[in-house]
């Protein structure tokens, strides 16, 4: 058992530590002769150039990867993009034309709702692109094109390394769309691709330097009844994944909110000691998020932040700071999610939970 876990106490920790490799492997062979290369694209550049609407459909953690993709696709490729739970998408009547691209994200490649959504979308004439971790899985077979996430088999029920592989893959797809649409030059794409690759070392830096900070933050959460995760933009997407991880494996109720929405409801929950976990990395909305945190602090919240290395000011307001290396906002999810995975795992262990096999959950959901 220990050998299978590579010397780690559980699969989740082993898989979290594989993430630098997942980033590297997902990028291998994707830049050839200075050009982005997606071998199983299945769509011509001409077809891609016609795309005028994107839906990302997925479930669970994969849905959160979709939230990040929406930001990237709209920012870089300037194509309107919506993210939707597959279980919702399939039961309404979304606007689909032959110039619609549906991006289906599924670690297992066999989630029932996601597959059904793919089938519906194709019948309605959409192009479908799959992002999956399992070669030859139904999602791969039933899509026009596919990117494999190269995470290798994931055993822990709560997804970690697959998520990172999905985000990296979706970043590649976003760059490709932007390039095909003429919104980014090949030079810009090359530069961004290089920076994307740097996130592998940045994740390693978190393992090497932030373990103690994560542990302290976990101690501050373990006896809570509920926790709130907040952020803006990319930070909001990361907050959603952080909250899901915590509730999945520690059974501690957690919710994620866009930081600006706090004052419209969730702030009523805050009383002394209530944990608020915030993504306050350097981004254009940094000051806004910090001012939302001040409102929480004034009500006695315990503030835990994921911040950019070198940001000393944040210590004035935060009780616990976990740092990540400076990174472009577009790539922040790849690194800033990692401390939240580690935090969820530590809290779960402190609460005596089985981190690899949480109650009531299945690794893949092949029935509706």
Q: Which residue is nearest to ligand G6P (CB)?
A: 60
57 is a contact residue toward ligand G6P (CB under 6 A)? no
Which residues, 6 or more positions from 308, have their beta carbon under 8 angstroms from its beta carbon? 281, 282, 323, 324, 325, 326, 327
All residues at 6 or more sequence positions from 158 whose CB lies less than 8 Å from its CB, including other chains: 12, 61, 245, 248, 249, 344, 355, 358, 361
| Residue 363 bears catalytic tag | yes
Contacts of residue 257, defined as CB under 8 A and 6 or more positions apart, other chains included, come to 228, 229, 230, 236, 239, 266
Binding of ligand G6P at residue 159 (CB under 6 A)? yes
Q: State the minimum distance, in angstroms, from the CB of residue 203 to ligand G6P.
A: 20
Report the distance separating Cα 325 and Cα 160, nearest Å: 20
Using the contact rule CB under 6 A, the part of the chain among 55-63, 69-77, 191-199, 273-281 near ligand G6P is: 55-63
Q: Is 361 in the site for ligand G6P (CB under 6 A)?
A: yes
Nearer to ligand G6P, 278 or 334 (CB): 334
Q: Is 87 in the site for ligand G6P (CB under 6 A)?
A: no
- The answer to whether residues 356 and 228 touch, using CB atoms and an 8 Å cutoff, is no
160 touches ligand G6P (CB under 6 A) = no
Nearer of residues 255 and 295 to ligand G6P, judged by Cβ: 255
Say which residues have a Cβ less than 8 Å from residue 121's Cβ, sequence separation at least 6. 55, 57, 94, 96, 100, 102, 128
Nearer to ligand G6P among residue 191 and residue 361 (C-beta): 361
Return the residue of 19, 87, 100, 114 that touches ligand G6P, per CB under 6 A. Answer: 114
Residue in 54, 131, 157, 237 binding ligand G6P, rule: CB under 6 A: 157
Return residues touching ligand G6P (CB under 6 A): 59-62, 106-108, 111, 114, 157-159, 361-365
Residues belonging to the active site: 363
């Amino acid at each position: 058992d220990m050998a299978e876990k590579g010397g780690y106490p559980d699969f989740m920790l082993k898989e979290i530590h594989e993430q630098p490799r997942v980033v590297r492997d997902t990028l291998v062979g994707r830049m050839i002769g200075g050009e982005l290369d997606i071998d199983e694209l299945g769509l011509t550049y001409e077809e891609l150039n016609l795309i005028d609407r994107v839906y990302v459909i997925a479930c669970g953690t994969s849905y959160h990867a979709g939230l990040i993709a929406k930001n990237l696709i709209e920012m870089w490729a300037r194509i309107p993009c919506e993210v939707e739970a597959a279980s919702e998408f399939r039961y309404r009547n979304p606007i689909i034309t032959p110039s619609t691209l549906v991006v289906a994200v599924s670690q297992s490649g066999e989630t029932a709702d996601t597959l059904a959504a793919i089938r519906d979308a194709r019948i309605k004439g959409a192009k479908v692109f799959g992002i999956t971790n399992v070669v030859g899985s139904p999602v791969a077979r039933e899509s026009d094109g596919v990117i494999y996430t190269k995470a290798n088999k994931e055993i822990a029920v709560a997804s970690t390394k697959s998520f990172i592989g999905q985000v990296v893959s979706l970043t590649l797809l976003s760059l490709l769309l932007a390039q095909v649409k003429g919104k980014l030059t090949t030079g810009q794409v090359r530069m961004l691709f290089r920076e994307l690759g740097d996130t592998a070392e940045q994740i390693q830096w978190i393992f090497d330097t932030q373990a103690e900070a994560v542990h302290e933050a976990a101690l501050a959460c373990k006896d809570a009844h509920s926790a709130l995760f907040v952020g803006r933009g990319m930070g909001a997407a990361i907050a959603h994944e952080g909250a899901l991880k915590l509730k999945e494996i520690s059974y501690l109720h957690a919710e994620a909110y866009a930081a600006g929405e706090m004052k419209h409801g969730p702030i009523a929950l805050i009383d002394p000691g209530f944990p608020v976990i915030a993504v306050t990395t350097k981004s254009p909305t940094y000051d806004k998020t910090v001012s939302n945190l001040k409102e929480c602090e004034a009500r006695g919240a315990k503030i835990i932040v994921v911040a950019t290395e070198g940001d000393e000011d944040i210590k004035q307001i935060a009780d616990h700071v976990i740092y990540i290396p400076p990174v472009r906002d577009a790539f922040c999810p790849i690194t800033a999610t990692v401390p939240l995975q580690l935090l969820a795992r530590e809290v779960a262990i402190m609460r005596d939970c089985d981190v690899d096999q949480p109650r009531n959950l299945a690794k893949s959901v092949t029935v509706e």
